[in-house]
Every structure is written in C-alpha cells, then in structure tokens.
Amino acid sequence: MDFGEVLDEWERMKRERSRAAHPKAGPADPVPETARLSPFEAWLDEHGVEDKDAERPGASAQAEREARDRRLAALDPQATLDLHGMGAQEAEAALLAFLEDSGRRGLEKVIVVHGKGNHSKEGPVLGRVARRAIEMSPWAGRSGVAGRAEGGSGALWVLLRKKG
C-alpha cells in the first residue's frame, strides 16, 4: 500500500465516522464542515486564536535592525582612532571629531583604541573618556569591547548612525 492509498483510506474512514455521528445526513446530503472537524478544531474555527508567530506591526522593522546589527558586528572596522598619549580633554575632542567625520563619510563601523592604562600615572582614564564621548555623540550607535585582534579590552568598536 503506497502513501496515496493510505490517505484515501484515511479520508474514507473519516467520512464513515462523520456519517455515523450524523445519521440524518443522507448519502447525497453534504456533511456539515464542523462535523468533519474534531471538537478542538471546530472550537478554533468558531472562536479563532491569536497567532503569536504572525508578524506584529513593527516586528519586521525590528528584525531588519537586528539583522543589520549582526551584519555590522561581523564587519571589519573601516577606520581606527588611537588615543594613546592624549590627555582626557584632547582625547574627547579627537574622538567626537573622529566619529562625526566617520559618520559623514558614510562609514558603518570604527575602532577606538584607548589603551588599558598600564602606563598612565593616573591609571586607566581614556577608557572612561572614550565611553562617555561615544554616549554623547549623535553619530555613535551601539558599541562594545573590541575583539582581541582590534585591541581587546583596550579598544571599543562603534557602529555609526546614518544621518539624513
């Protein structure tokens, strides 16, 4: 017996059970659609149910943003700024100018190397300055600690926002 025959047999058995459940329906009388459904399926047909997997308004935009962020996170940086040797104020000004210039040039991802503060008399200062400047910049989007190849905990990656 092949699969088609199994399906035909299944349909025949369903029709017989349906007619047994509704004896008033004659051979020529169509069996009501709800009689062919299980009680659960009939209830769902009557009352409906919210499909939680269906797209919600704005869900596709969010999915597009998430896909873009994943793509950009995997993207190699397109420019790098090294803040080594700068004071806090000089580093902040340089970083804000770098982010604006990079954004205006249409870059999507940059690296800011601030160092770990191992050679600083005051300890690690530039990391805090860099994070604060990135938060202040209208050009900066998401950011995070760079990968080992880009400087690890002594550097930050920044995804740049598009300005229109």
Q: Which range is least confidently modeled, 3-12, 15-24, 90-99, 146-155?
A: 15-24
**Torsion over CA: 93, 96, 102, 107 (sign):** positive
**Whole-number average pLDDT of the chain:** 80
Tell me the pLDDT band of 34, cut-offs 50, 70 and 90. Answer: very low
In the predicted structure, residue 100 carries a pLDDT above the cut 90:
yes
CA–CA distances in Å: residue 77 to residues 55, 60, 110, 141: 33, 27, 5, 14
To the question of pTM greater than 0.75 for the whole model, the response is no
Class of domain 75-160: alpha beta
Domain boundaries defined on the chain: 3-47, 75-160
Distance CA 107, CA 103 (A): 6
Cβ neighbour number for residue 129 with a 10 Å cutoff: 20
